[in-house]
Amino acid sequence: MILLLSDLILIVDDNPGIRSLLKELLTSKGYRVEVAQNGAEAIEKFHQSEPSAVLLDSMMPGMNGLMVAEKLKSSSPKLPIIMISAYSEKEEIKRAQQKGLLSYCLTKPFDINEIIESLHYIFELRLSNTI
C-alpha cells in the first residue's frame, strides 16, 4: 500500500479509550489523525481539515453516526466512511449502506487489523481512481 503524506483520518467516537486506541494505532501506521468526541465536533473538524477517510461510531449521544455520515456525504459524496457499530444496529447500518453512506461497517468488538485492512483497501482504490 502506498501511503500518502496527505492521508488524514478523522476518528469520531464518544468513548475516550476507543479514540485513544485508534489514534495510537493509526499514527503508528503513518497516518495523520484528528479525533472528535461527538457528531457536532466531527462536522466542524471535517470542514477544518478535510480528512481522507472517517472512522465513525454509530451510537453517540446527540447526533448519531448515521446523521453525521449524511451530513459529511452531503459535503463530500466520495468521502470513505467506515462505521463501527454494535451488532444490534445491523438493519439500520444495512439501510445506510444501501443509501451509499458507508464504505464499510465493522462490528464491535472490532479487530484492529480489520480497520487497517479497510483503510488500505480504500486508499488503494483511490489510487486506482475507482473511488
**Which pTM was predicted?**
0.87
Q: Round the average pLDDT of the chain to a whole number and report it.
A: 86
Please report whether residue 2 resides in a domain. no
Please report whether residue 62 resides in a domain. yes
- Region of 93 (left: φ > 0; alpha: ψ -120 to 50; beta: rest) is alpha
Report the distance separating Cα 21 and Cα 15, nearest Å. Answer: 10
Q: Closest Cα to residue 14, out of 48, 64, 52?
A: 64
| pLDDT confidence bin for 6, thresholds 50/70/90 | low
The pLDDT value recorded for residue 55 is 96
Domain count, the chain: 1
Long-range contacts of 25-33 (CB under 8 A, 24+ apart): 25/112, 25/115, 25/116, 26/115, 26/119, 29/3, 29/116, 30/3, 31/3, 31/7, 31/119, 32/5, 32/7, 32/8, 33/8, 33/9
Report the distance separating Cα 129 and Cα 131, nearest Å. Answer: 6
For the segment 41-60, the average pLDDT, to the nearest whole number, is 94
- Using only the alpha carbons of the chain, give its radius of gyration: 13
The pLDDT value recorded for residue 88 is 59
Please report whether residue 100 resides in a domain. yes
Give yes or no for a contact between 51 and 30, defined as CB atoms under 8 angstroms apart: no
Please report whether residue 3 resides in a domain. no
Please report whether residue 50 resides in a domain. yes
Please report whether residue 94 resides in a domain. yes
Query: Under DSSP, is residue 104 helix (H, G, I), strand (E, B) or coil?
Result: strand
For the segment 14-21, the average pLDDT, to the nearest whole number, is 94
- Please say if the pLDDT value at position 131 is more than 70: no
| pLDDT confidence bin for 1, thresholds 50/70/90 | very low
Please report whether residue 15 resides in a domain. yes
The pLDDT value recorded for residue 33 is 97
| pLDDT confidence bin for 37, thresholds 50/70/90 | very high
- Segments forming the whole domain that contains residue 68: 8-126
Please report whether residue 28 resides in a domain. yes
CATH at 30: 3.40.50.2300
